[in-house]
Structure 1
Amino acid sequence: MNDDSVDLLPLLDELRVMAQAGLFFADDPYDRERYERILELVGEYYGMTLDVPPEEIHDRLAQDLGYVTPNVGVKAAIFDDEGRMLLMQRPEGSEYVAGTWDIPGGAVEPLEPPAETAIRETREETGLAVETIEVVDAYMMEPNRLNPHGHVLLLYLCEMAGGTLGLSHEGDALDYWEIEDVPAWTLDFRGPALDARDRWSEQQRDGREGDD
């Protein structure tokens, strides 16, 4: 795709959402036939745009059942005693930009409580056992190639409960960072990271006042 070409993926994604939502709600057989045809066309043009066989695209679309909604991901905000945040550097060959820094976390698995996602993903990516303290906030992230329908991020403030810090195959490095010094974020996580640090600071103040 050269600089003068049109990126068809946003259009195809929107047509796919409309067609699948229509199939979910439609009772009229003619309406269902029209929505099915839209999905067929979307599959064909997905295949041409992404260089994937149309049959494979059709199978992938068929697996996405029900009303299409944004994906849900969870991140675990973990701080050291100095208020620095634990981040993982993404490696070459990952679906993200290599060398960028990411908050530990990942996608919520089917039927998995989001708090358990934070605990599981942290263990897998960092070797640490954590406990979730509270949800900092929920954030609507911009659509991208991995999450074409948008991405809802739940950010949990966590505290360490054991384990040993160790790098997984999903990262090139693990390090604690002052948020203002992070050179490049994997996604637009700077704002959520600052919110998490503010909540962590409140927790620290409340703890000190409780000891007085």
Structure 2
Amino acid sequence: MDLMRLLDELRILSQNGIEYADNPYDKERYERILTLTSLYYGKALSLPATEVRTRFDDELGHITPKVGAEAAVFDSVGHILLMRRADDGTWCLPCGWVDPNESPTDAAVRETNEETGLEVEVTKLIDVYYHAPSAEFGPHGRIDILYHCSAVGGSLELSDEGEALKYWRIDDVPVWHKQHERYARDAKQTQSKNP
């Protein structure tokens, strides 16, 4: 059994229960479930339960999975642009969380510019991916939306989030960030079908 997946579901059910329950006894039960969930999240992630609970309490409204946007940018010979992450040294596509009042396409454009210095436009939706909570992906369910993007301006400029920028042949990348190899291969396959 995957503990992170269980904890995420209990957290979502309890927070949504607190939000929608009319009966004070039901609210009390949901609060207890959220307290226990915070405690076990804290143990699993080596964080104090109070800090975990504070993070949960900061989320308003109906709790849903987190949404990320990824950009696949290819050069003229079909190599894909990747950034070596400063936090773990893996190579990833330009990516990030969708901000409030921002569309996923806008997030892909913004993140690409922030991380690489390039100005891009989204040309195609490649796919939408769901990742359940896990030790690899973290304590929340997440949805990643992958776009094919074309450079329309700017120049390569590394942000403080990365250690290097490089266009790669997909088969030559030494170590990928999480599912980004799959994303790159899906993008390449889509690109070869629709040049």
Q: TM-score, normalised by structure 1?
A: 0.82
| 1:73 and 1:108 in contact (8 A); partners too | yes
Structure 1 position 89 matched with structure 2 position 79? no
Deviations 1:30-77 (A, max 9, x none): 111100121122233444554434433322111122332211000110
Alignment-derived partner of residue 155 in structure 1: 146
| 1:136 and 1:155 in contact (8 A); partners too | yes
The 5 Å alignment of 1:53-92 reads: 53-91=48-86
Q: Name the SS for the 2:144 alignment partner.
A: strand
Q: Name the SS for the 2:194 alignment partner.
A: helix
Q: 1:53 to 1:192 in 2, by over 3 A?
A: closer
Counterpart among 168, 172, 189 of residue 163 in structure 2 = 172
Counterpart among 123, 126, 129 of residue 119 in structure 2 = 129
Q: 2: distance between equivalents of 1:154 and 1:9?
A: 22
Counterpart among 182, 188, 196 of residue 179 in structure 2 = 188
| 2:68 and 2:143 in contact (8 A); partners too | yes
| 1:127 and 1:165 in contact (8 A); partners too | yes
Q: Name the SS for the 1:172 alignment partner.
A: strand
Q: Name the SS for the 2:36 alignment partner.
A: helix
| 2:4 and 2:133 in contact (8 A); partners too | no
Please tell me the root mean square deviation across aligned C-alpha atoms, in Å: 2.1
Structure 2's unaligned 5+ residue stretches are: none
| 1:127 and 1:163 in contact (8 A); partners too | yes
Letter in structure 1 aligned against 2:144: L
Q: 2: distance between equivalents of 1:11 and 1:203?
A: 40
Overall identity of the aligned pairs, in %: 48
Q: TM-score, normalised by structure 2?
A: 0.89
Alignment-derived partner of residue 110 in structure 1: 100
Aligned length: 194
Return the structure number with greater strand share: 2
Structure 1's unaligned 5+ residue stretches are: 1-5, 205-212
| 2:5 and 2:134 in contact (8 A); partners too | no
